[in-house]
A and B are shown apart, each in its own frame.
Chain A
């Protein structure tokens, strides 16, 4: 299958290794990946911060870039949720029939990475090997908006060598929330503190999830605590193989 990668501005800039992992897994499964170089940002931050006009501009741009693609895969559930849910809603609020048609069509073509593997390709075992103790944090967008927690967990259960530990109170938000983490830093930190305590209680070395934004917030706390634990995107665990580790 020809798959177009929507990396997200955040991953492009801060977590290129996540994008590389997505490419590596998809190609390992025999699919061909392209990367539309004109892509930038879906506008999620502008949208959630109330900058609607700017969002509309970025939405139109996103449509222009990705409309020619058949299947779009993104390793960020919040960006997928923006394209799938917020775009069609915004188009409706604007009452623009053409935009409604375009955003609806696009919404059906965009998938979160783990969702794509399990629900679209029907693959739960990607041949990964990751001999570590891992806990999974279901990010709010993957849990409540896209409802893909099962897919991510199925993939993790099939990783050889991986010991999956259930995270207590996993469904509670980590406190990231985009600009919330800065505008309401104290409350965000209070939420993070409890998330970190729950992660610590699993004695896992790695906390994984499908959103690097939440993971960056969690990783920042783990690092500050000198906790000896780290955060890692699910795609990078799935990209890890026995052969790769030997190299």
Chain B
């Protein structure tokens, strides 16, 4: 089974990856259908809540408070987990987390380990790290099973196989699972095939790895909300349970969970409540796992915390509502983002956890339409953060010679200079009327060279008219009527 490199190493520029994705007709149909369906369902269940806006605000405030006192809450969590019989490990980065988890499993001589769907383990590339130690990670979430058996990569935070339809899933199962010769593409039959495969694993593999939706500092309780019951199996049957959690997932108290229990399921699966809500605190003799490890992962999160305008990024509860409403994601799907975290939240999170390079194209993968902000259950102002990150990228580039003298930087500086003076601006308007002449055909410009060629690939350009508004005003009203307030600047 192929395992992929750590989940946040973006290998291609977004515009290039998007071009390929846009040309994939099956993907376009599958993702378009799925996102439109879930959008309508989300609107319906959110509409049932008269206090939805208050809940969003409450969620935002809880997360802001967590971020401000993250150190205190984490230490409290460690203390409570330890007191309840669990063990807490601190991991600076993905590699350290993978090593900690690998060592725990190696100590027990594990060859296989069950996994509950976890973005954080995808981020650290845990499966491939375990494979290098000869340990097979077995995904148990149905969509993750499809992705793993299909030697594929997740394309959605919540529905990793959203880019697949049932005919494709049937083919994957027939190729990889025994006893599926006569499998149809009926959802119930497909789920049945996965269940038979998984049931055997649940009953024989005594090790499991999970992520965490939340961890309550006051009691050291860790929570997993899910729909299929595979999580419940993994959390209760094995002997050893290891949970990997980003440090931002801690919440102060049980009372805070009340807010997210209302907003998370409605925003993610468009359900009023998740079918399975599992919360455990440490270990207990005679029931559940005998050994529990909680691995707390930084991996760049403290850097996000330090960048105040971007700090809100850490409030994300990974519901995926922003993906489902995003007009860009709807068309490109998740793979184009090249990261565990696709869509609008990925466009702000991935580059912050990354090195400069292709990931820097992600903050530009948005028209800033604001649909994500509107849908976000913790009110992360994603468009604002996208613009902030663009500013940081431009700032970094300006420090290099190549960046300082790039076509874009020169054009932007020139335009700023032109806009710095009404006289220069008017001169530029007049020059454009003359400069455009070779390109005008009839009353449109059908084709332009250079960076504007992307525009004219599908869009005619409106030529600059001979008379600008200010020229018309001066001719009609004279300069004196314009002087009224305005003053000199």
Contact = CB atoms under 8 A, between A and B. Distances in A.
Contacts of B452: 182
A189 B366 contact: no
A68 B364 contact: no
Main secondary structure of the interface of B (DSSP, over half): helix
A60 B429 CA distance: 22
Nearest to A39: B422
Interface string A51-85: 11010011001001110111000000000000000
B465 to A, nearest CB: 6
Contacts of B365: 184, 187
B486 A4 contact: yes
Nearest to B471: A16
Contacts of B464: 13-14
A17 to B, nearest CB: 8
A159 B313 CA distance: 45
Contact of B482 (A36, A144, A192): A36
A237 B460 CA distance: 23
A88 interface: no
A143 B413 CA distance: 31
Interface string A110-141: 00000000000000000000000000000011
A37 B470 contact: yes
B416 A144 contact: no
Interface residues of B, number: 76
B412 A38 contact: no
B18 interface: yes
A16 B468 contact: yes
Interface in B371-396: 371, 373-374, 384, 387, 389-395
B416 A57 contact: yes
Interface stretch (B56-64, B95-103, B326-334): B326-334
A144 B374 contact: yes
Contact of B444 (A14, A54, A180, A223): A223
Given A52-B391, A93-B309, A180-B364, A12 B469 contact: yes
Contacts of A187: 15, 18, 22, 328, 331-332, 365
A219 B489 contact: no
A195 to B, nearest CB: 9
Interface of A: 2, 4, 7, 9, 11-16, 19-20, 34-41, 43, 45-52, 54, 57-58, 61, 64-66, 68-70, 89, 93, 140-141, 144-145, 171-173, 175-193, 216-217, 219-221, 223-224
